[in-house]
Amino acid sequence: MMIQVSQTTRKGRTTIRIAATPKSAQTRALLAQFRKGVKAIEKKWKAHAAAAKKKAAKLRRRRR
């Protein structure tokens, strides 16, 4: 099994591309597990950003 990881960072964003060969059931399971982890991290980031935005809006309303 060969796993190739390509990572680039641009404008504060990190892109990770993973390719694995051969396409065995074990490799596919590992990639699926990785994708689940990435989605979980994305959810946390989005939730944090939304909370920060909501908190900033609340502070702006208080100042008025």
pLDDT tens column, 7-61: 677 777 667 777 777 778 887 888 888 888 888 888 888 898 899 999 999 998 8
- Residue type for position 14: T
Q: Largest Cα–Cα distance in the chain?
A: 61
* R_g (Cα) of the chain, nearest Å: 18
Q: How confident is the model at residue 3 (pLDDT cuts 50, 70, 90)?
A: low
pLDDT of 1 strictly over 60: no
Of 6 and 31, which is predicted with more confidence? 31
Residue 23: the pLDDT is 74
pTM, rounded to two decimals: 0.55
